Each structure stands twice: as structure tokens, then as C-alpha cells.
Chain A
Amino acid sequence: MAEKKTVSVKVLNMKGEEAGKVSLAASVFAIEPHTQAMFNAVQVEQSNARQATAKTKVRHEVSGGGKKPWRQKGTGRARAGTTRSPIWVGGGTVFGPDGNQSYKISQNKKEYALAKKSALSLKVKEGLVVIDKIAFENKKTKDCINFLAAVKAQTKVLMVVNEIDENTFASVRNLSWVKLVSSDNVSVLDVLNADFLVTDQSAIKQIEEELK
């Protein structure tokens, strides 16, 4: 893309008033979104977060079944050695999940970076809120609610700060619809899942630096 090299985004202060503009690299924040890369990235993240908790019992793990149900010959019934055989009701499972399944998959780093840039570019079009500096003076949830109301981000929010300090952590902690991450921990899934990406200048510059 040989268009302009930067995109400019308006900057608000914490009261929701306009406080200048910031120019961001177009190679990170204004690329053509690559849907497949984003889809793969989300799949990788969700799959890797999965724990193998499903577990079934095979024939030797089901309790009981030690005694031979009836003698081998002479009864007219099919021969049987245990009541826990897989073809019996109450018997073991043959090919069930064994608790050691691995759901780990991976994605090439360049493709993941592309996915991240795509997701950020989508957010620049709609839902990116850049603040001059996110800093809370007190540990008050009410302060955070007022701040997010002032910048008109009142549904699912991903808040990205340069470094999480105690006041920010405590102010956000009790809001279930706000997720707080530091700028080196931004994931594609988080960005796409949020309606609003609320961040400040230093954090967004750091994201830019990482993906350039």
C-alpha cells in the first residue's frame, strides 16, 4: 500500500475532552484486515487455553468385574470373562478421552503479527479510544466507571496500559466487562472480543514499536 504512511487518531483526556492527535504507523494500524490470519490466531489462543479435563474409564479402570460371570462352556450363553467388557452395559469405554489429550497448536510468528495488525486496524476504524495518559489517583471503581462513561466506552472494554499499577488494577478489578492488560500482553482474541480498545499514548506507541 503506497498511500500515506501514518494515520492520525484523536486523543482524549480522561474527562472525555479532546486533547490533540497522535499519528500512528499505517503499516500497523491501517492495513487491509486479513481475516484468515485473525481466525487462525483466535483458534490458536482458544485452543491453547483449553485444559484436557474430559476423561473416561477403560475396561480395567471400571471398578468390579473381577469374577467370571458364568462358566465358559455348557450354558448356551456367549462366553464372558468380565462384566466390565466394553460391549456390556456398565462396561468400560473403548476410545474415549483419556485425560492426556493435547490441544496445543501453533501459528507462525509472522502470521500472528499480521493477525494482530489486522485486529488493531479494525479497531482504528471503530472502537479505538486513545487517552493522553491513563492514571487513577485513587483505588475507586467509581472513578473508572466515570472515566469510561466520559470517553463513551460502556460495553466490553479492553484497557491497555503501559504498566499496570496498583491504582489501575484496583479500580478495574470489580468491573466484569473491563479487561486490563499491559502493552506487551495484548492478544488478538482480546482485541477482537472487545467493543472498545481503551489505551493511552505511551502504550499504543509501544504496541506500534513491537509490530513495526
Chain B
Amino acid sequence: MARTKKDAVTAIKHNFSKPTVRDLEVIKYPRITEKSMSLMQDQNKVSIVVCEDANKTEIKLAFQRIFQVKVTDVKILNVKAKETTRGTRYKGTLSGFKKAVVSVAEGEAIDLFKD
């Protein structure tokens, strides 16, 4: 039976337990950029900003518990802080963060714009 992407969320019932406080700390918010949107559409990968001391295993488990979808792969990288200027007077830095690209199992999807 072929599943379409749309009804996938309700179609598969996983037995992941409920999210913990640490899970919500680990996964901060989705990173919405042109690149992340195309990754999501073409390869079913979700880009998120994560807690800086989180590791891949933690991210995978937390993501599964929060969104109740199966994760097949996690890649992480640190985005370095950048220097910025506004006009000539203000000099500062844009803070860096840790980014994770999470591969969601085939046939499953999450809705980032639910609320």
C-alpha cells in the first residue's frame, strides 16, 4: 500500500514515549531558510537549531518523542558566530548555534507550521 505524504502523520502509530523536559531543551526551534525548505521537500530532512551540548543520539530520541516520527539519520554542525556591522558605528556579533539536519523515515512527515 503506497502512502501519500499528506496522510502519513496520522497513518503511522509509533510507540515512542512522551517528551521529557530535557527533550524540549534539546530541540529549540526549526531553522527556516531556503536551503532547509528545499531539503525538506526533496529529501524529507528537517533542519533544527539544537541545544549546544546535545549529541546525535539525544537529538534523535528527543525528536522522535516530540514529533512521534521515526528518525533515520542525524547530522550536526556548529554554525560559527559572525561579526556584523550596522552602518559604521555599531559593531557586534551574531551568535552562533548548533544545527541539526534530521532525516525523517520515508513516508512520514512533520508539520512545522502547525501552531
Contact = CB atoms under 8 A, between A and B. Distances in A.
A16 to B, nearest CB: 25
Contacts of A137: none
Interface in B9-63: 17-21, 24
A184 B18 CA distance: 7
Interface residues of B, number: 6
A172 B24 CA distance: 12
Interface string A156-196: 00000011101001000000000011111100000000000
B24 A182 contact: no
Nearest to B23: A164
Contacts of B18: 162-164, 182-185
B17 A164 contact: no
B20 A185 contact: yes
A199 B26 CA distance: 24
A184 B19 CA distance: 10
Interface residues of A, number: 11
A35 to B, nearest CB: 29
A1 B24 CA distance: 42
A164 B24 CA distance: 9
A98 B31 CA distance: 44
A181 B20 contact: yes
Nearest to A206: B18
A76 to B, nearest CB: 59
A3 to B, nearest CB: 34
B30 to A, nearest CB: 13
A166 B19 CA distance: 10
Contacts of B21: 164, 169, 180-181
A162 B21 CA distance: 13
Contacts of A162: 18
A186 to B, nearest CB: 12
A163 B18 CA distance: 6
A185 B21 CA distance: 11
Interface of A: 162-164, 166, 169, 180-185
The 10 tightest CB contacts between A and B, nearest first, are: A182-B18, A169-B24, A163-B18, A180-B21, A164-B19, A184-B18, A184-B17, A185-B20, A169-B21, A164-B21
Given A184-B17, A185-B20, 11 more contacts: A162-B18, A163-B19, A164-B24, A166-B24, A169-B24, A181-B20, A181-B21, A182-B20, A183-B18, A184-B18, A185-B18
22 contacts: A162-B18, A163-B18, A163-B19, A164-B18, A164-B19, A164-B20, A164-B21, A164-B24, A166-B24, A169-B21, A169-B24, A180-B21, A181-B20, A181-B21, A182-B18, A182-B19, A182-B20, A183-B18, A184-B17, A184-B18, A185-B18, A185-B20
